[in-house]
Structure 1
Amino acid sequence: MQKLTTKPKAFLFDLNGTMINDMEYHTKAWYSIMNDELGANLSYEQVKQEMYGKNHEVLERVFGKNAFSLEEMDRLSLDKEKRYQAGYIPHLALIDGLELFLARAKEAKILMAIGSAAIPFNIDFVVDGLNIRRYLSAIVSADDVVMSKPDAETFTKAAQLLKVLPEDCIVFEDAPKGVEAANRAGMPCVVLTTTHKEDEFADYPNIVGFISDYNDSILNALF
């Protein structure tokens, strides 16, 4: 575990599984497309392990780099997001305690941004559907980076947009690859245990704590 020596100036949030508890619906959407449409014959757990990075990267990891044209990957990506949104929209909600946490951070003049591998179509679905854009000073999506997580670019770009040094940021993540991206960026990380268990993060030295939601008292130390 990493100990904080100074108060953070910025909070950088991953989106899926971190601000909303929706990773099950992403996995179900990919599972349906990969198996029913593309014949991958993968288990649910195998699909879940590929749930990081851009949609095109997911397809290339599973099927190989030359399996689809760019146009085919674009179509599959959009189809996947439409299936995800249709399944998740009845359950669209912030993780418990996050609304108050965002308001508290804004009152404390802590800058906030989203750094996600999601495409703008999905980020807008969440941000505007839950009316949280007013809390955010920047958004970095899949379309804004060359290399997605576990590369550091998503988080370093968010820090640059906020004009904050990496060491003055706290990242909120739910996935090992996201924590790795934060570590590469030189940023401490709070982990949400919505999608993965604590022992799956044993290799990362930049974790300051694990939380199940934003009501956890360990978050008081960030203010």
Structure 2
Amino acid sequence: MDGVICDTNPHHSLAWKAFLKKFEIVATEDEFIAHMYGKSNSYILKHFLKRDVIGDEFIAMEFEKEALFRQLYEPEVIPIAGLLAFIDDLKANGVKTGIATSAPVENLELILSKLPLADKMQSLLSSSDVIHHKPNPEVYLKSAANLGVLPENCVVFEDSHSGVSAGKAAGAKVVGVLSTYKKEELPVCDDYIVNYKEMSYEKIKSLFES
């Protein structure tokens, strides 16, 4: 979802900066690129606070930071260019689709309240639906099971190193979305896009014919 459906990472950066300021922690953009984008909140908190954050403390900290994000992003939710038309093309050709995000379910609900996607998805998974977060493939294996499709017959769209790694570990084809990282900064993908303007059902189909 983040960086794939919507380019949310700039707003996540703003939210993390505001949250970390309480602890007198000033993070650089390079640190966010290395340790925030595509990472789970448990990893991010552990990295920046230099300790494990678990249990009720983690729940409270995560909710506070994500509430900041939702407050900042709610007025500005827009999809990455061409996404909605691409999904309509997939649905017209009978393709099953789902969202598999490391974000909290409240963030998923925010995006679905703003974009016409909910009725086009046959699977919706967020951080609370898995035990192991990306780069572990659990969320994609569960998505494939929900869709009734073998993982090797799925295509994952991902913008982060951990996400691409998760998709590949699941055995799926992976399309790298270059909203956050450059092509050379991601693991090798089956294809790469900047946005969805040139993406289509036929291009997806061709990934399985080459």
When the two structures are superposed, what TM-score results if normalisation uses the length of structure 1? 0.85
Does residue 178 of structure 2 align to residue 193 of structure 1?
A: yes
Paired residues for 1:18-167 under 5 Å:
18-34=4-20, 36-51=21-36, 52-66=38-52, 68-167=53-152
Residue type at the aligned position of 2:203: A
From the superposition, tell whether residues 65 and 219 of structure 1 become closer, same or farther in structure 2 (CA, over 3 Å): farther
Q: Which runs of 4+ in 1 moved over 3 A?
A: 217-220
In 2, Cα distance between the equivalents of 1:58 and 1:80? 11
In 2, Cα distance between the equivalents of 1:93 and 1:175? 20
CA RMSD of aligned residues (A): 1.6
Gaps of 5+ in 2: 206-210
CA deviation after TM superposition for structure 1 residue 97, in Å: 0.8
Match of 1:8 in 2: none
In 1, Cα distance between the equivalents of 2:132 and 2:184? 26
Residue type at the aligned position of 1:16: D
> Could you tell me whether the CA contact under 8 Å between 1:172 and 1:189 is conserved in 2?
yes
CA deviation after TM superposition for structure 1 residue 44, in Å: 2.6
Match of 1:222 in 2: 204
> Could you tell me whether the CA contact under 8 Å between 2:155 and 2:175 is conserved in 1?
yes
Residue identity (%): 25
In 1, Cα distance between the equivalents of 2:200 and 2:98? 21
In 2, Cα distance between the equivalents of 1:215 and 1:70? 43
89-98 or 173-182, which deviates more: 89-98
Gaps of 5+ in 1: 1-14
From the superposition, tell whether residues 78 and 90 of structure 1 become closer, same or farther in structure 2 (CA, over 3 Å): same
From the superposition, tell whether residues 186 and 69 of structure 1 become closer, same or farther in structure 2 (CA, over 3 Å): closer
How many aligned positions are there? 204
In 1, Cα distance between the equivalents of 2:26 and 2:81? 35
Classify the secondary structure of the residue corresponding to 1:131.
coil
